Amino acid sequence: MTSYLPDILTFLIAAAGWFYLFNAHGAGRLVAMENTHMNARRIALRKAGGGALFALAVAFFCGLHLPDPAHHAVLFLLIWLAVFLLVGCIMILAFIDLRMTRRLHAAKSQKPS
């Protein structure tokens, strides 16, 4: 029996990456609260995260379907290494965005209304 769960997960990851890659302008609504340079940086970070998510979906799909570990051990290892590196890259980008959000929140709470 074939399991479609990994393929569904891959599709959902690709859809999330596509959304962040092409709809990152939602962060542009924060321009009223933060300066233009920081807002442009946030949008670029989210687009980079979306691209990394989409690349993760492609690498994950390739890792599940392309190489046979018995015959192509190096290719199998390289694909899964790319998957783990992309997950790490996405986490780093998310933490940078979180840090920027915390700074924005701290600046807004210090500023009298």
Write out pLDDT tens, residues 1-11: 578 999 999 99
Q: Identify the DSSP state of 34.
A: S
67 within 8 A of 79, measured Cβ to Cβ: yes
Q: Quote the pLDDT of residue 112.
A: 67
Q: How many domains does the chain have?
A: 1
Quote the Cα angle for 73-79-80, to 5°: 90
Q: Quote the pLDDT of residue 23.
A: 84
Write out pLDDT tens, residues 37-84: 888 898 899 999 999 999 999 999 999 998 788 888 999 999 999 999
Report the chain's C-alpha Rg in angstroms. 18
Residue span of the structural domain in which 20 resides:
5-110
Q: Quote the pLDDT of residue 39.
A: 84
Q: Quote the pLDDT of residue 49.
A: 94
Helix (H, G, I), strand (E, B) or coil at 62: helix
